[in-house]
Amino acid sequence: MTPTPVVFEGCFGWLHPADGRRGVVLCGPHGHEELCVHRAWMGLAQTLAAAGLPALRFDYHGLGDSAGEDSDPGRVRAWLDSVRAAVRRLREDTGVTEVALVGYRLGGLLALVAAEEMAGEMAGEAGGEMAGVDLLALVAPTASGRMAVREMQALSRIVALPGPEPALPDRAGQVNVVGFALTPETALELAALDARPAGRVPARRVLLLDKADSRVAAQLAATLGGLGVAVERAVFAGPADLVQQPQRLEAAAAFAPLAAWLTAGGVPRGASAPPERPAGLMMPNAVERPVVLDGSPPLFGVFCAPVLADPSSRRPAILFLNSGATHHVGSGRATVLQARRLAALGHASLRIDAAGLGDSPARPGQPDNLLYNRDVMADVRAALDWLEEQGHERCVIVGLCAGGAPALLAGLGDERVAGQILLNPGRFELGRGIPVTEVLRSVAHRSTGGYLREAFKPAKLRALLRNRGRIGGLGRRLAARLARKALIKSGLDSRVLRVFRRLSAEGRRVLLVYSVGDMTYAEFELHLGLAGRCLNGLPGIRVEYLERADHSLTDWSARERLDRLIDRHLESLDRADVDAPVPTGVSVRVSMC
Residue type, 560: E
Residue 45, pLDDT score: 96
**Integer Cα distance of 293 and 439 in angstroms:** 28
In this predicted structure, what is the pLDDT of residue 527?
A: 92
Q: What is the pLDDT of residue 250?
A: 57
Task: Let me know whether 84 and 32 are in one domain.
Answer: yes
Instruction: Please tell me whether residues 102 and 198 are part of one structural domain.
Output: yes
Please check the confidence at residue 477 and state whether its pLDDT lies above 80: no
pLDDT tens track for 125-153: 544 443 489 999 999 999 999 999 999 99
Q: What angle do CA 34, 39, 45 make, to 5 degrees?
A: 100
| Contact present, 383 and 352 (Cβ < 8 Å) | yes
Q: Do 382 and 461 share a domain, yes or no?
A: no
Question: Looking at the predicted structure, is the pLDDT value of residue 6 above 70?
Answer: yes
Strand partners, 207: 137, 232
Does any domain span residue 155? Answer: no
Question: What is the structure's pLDDT at 438?
Answer: 77
Any domain includes 246:
yes
In angstroms, the first-to-last Cα distance of the chain is 54
The predicted structure's pLDDT at residue 505 = 96
DSSP H helices in 51-183: 75-94, 106-126, 145-159
Q: Residue 240 — very low, low, confident or very high, per pLDDT cuts 50/70/90?
A: low
Q: Is 222 helix (H, G, I), strand (E, B) or coil?
A: helix
Query: Do residues 32 and 124 share a domain?
Result: yes
Same domain, 465 and 531: no
Query: pLDDT tens across 377-435, in order?
Result: 999 999 999 999 999 999 999 999 999 999 999 999 999 999 999 999 999 999 998 88
Q: Are 430 and 371 in contact (CB under 8 A)?
A: no
- Cα 247 to chain centroid, rounded: 11
Q: How would residue 577 be classed by pLDDT, with cut points 50, 70 and 90?
A: very low
Angstrom distances, CA of residue 272 to CA of 95, 255, 484: 6, 26, 58
Residues 424 and 337 in one domain: yes
pLDDT bucket at 559, cuts 50 / 70 / 90: very high
Domain termination residue (choose one: 206, 231, 263)? 263
Mean pLDDT, to the nearest integer, of 565-574?
Answer: 93
Range(s) of the domain holding residue 28: 4-144+194-263
The answer on 377 and 257 residing in a single domain is no
What pLDDT was estimated at residue 237? 80
- Residue 508 maps to which CATH number? 3.40.50.1820
- For residue 387, is it within any domain? yes
- Could you tell me if 316 and 456 lie in one domain? no
**Residues above pLDDT 70, as percent of the chain:** 83
Task: Work out whether strand 370-373 and strand 432-435 pair parallel, antiparallel, or are unpaired.
Answer: antiparallel
Average pLDDT value for the chain: 86
- Answer whether residue 163 is part of any domain: no
Q: Are residues 381 and 520 in the same domain?
A: yes
More confident: 73 or 126: 73
Within the chain, how many helices (H) and strands (E) appear?
Answer: 18, 22
The pLDDT value given to residue 252: 64
Cβ-count burial 371-400 (b if 16+ within 10 Å, e if not)? bbbebbbebbebbbebbeeeebebbbbbbb
Considering the domain architecture, whether residues 580 and 462 belong to the same structural domain is answered as no
- Distance, in Å, from the CA atom of 74 to the CA atom of 80, rounded to the nearest integer, reads 10
Distance CA 71, CA 77 (A): 13
pLDDT at 397: 98
**Tell me, what's the pLDDT at 469?**
53
In-domain check, residue 162: no
pLDDT at 442 over 80: no
Lowest mean per-residue pLDDT among 58-72, 262-276, 324-338, 409-423 = 262-276
| pLDDT digits 0-9 by tens, 149-203 | 999 999 999 988 887 778 788 999 999 999 999 999 999 999 999 867 667 889 9
What is the SS3 assignment for 263-288?
Answer: HCCCCCECCCCCCCCCCCEECCCEEE
Q: Is residue 272 part of a domain?
A: no
Which residues touch 37 (CB under 8 Å, ≥6 apart)? 28, 29, 104, 242, 243, 249, 251
Tens of pLDDT, residues 92-128: 999 999 999 999 999 999 999 999 999 977 655 544 4
Q: Are 574 and 488 in a shared domain?
A: no
What is the C-alpha to C-alpha distance for residues 495 and 115, in angstroms, rounded to an integer? Answer: 58
Alpha carbon 416 to its chain's center: 27
The total domain count for the chain is 3
d(CA 189, CA 215): 24
Query: Is the domain of 79 the same as that of 227?
Result: yes
Decide if 434 is inside a domain.
Answer: yes
User: Of the candidates 234, 263, 292, which is a domain's last residue?
Assistant: 263
Longest CA–CA span in the chain (Å) reads: 83
Poorest-pLDDT segment among 201-210, 265-274, 418-427 = 265-274
Amino acid 313: pLDDT: 73
pLDDT digit string (tens) for 478-496?
Answer: 555 555 555 455 554 589 9
What per-residue confidence (pLDDT) applies to 492? 42
| 158 is a domain residue | no
Q: Has residue 581 got a pLDDT over 50?
A: no
Last residue of a domain, one of 263, 291, 321: 263
pLDDT at res. 296 = 86
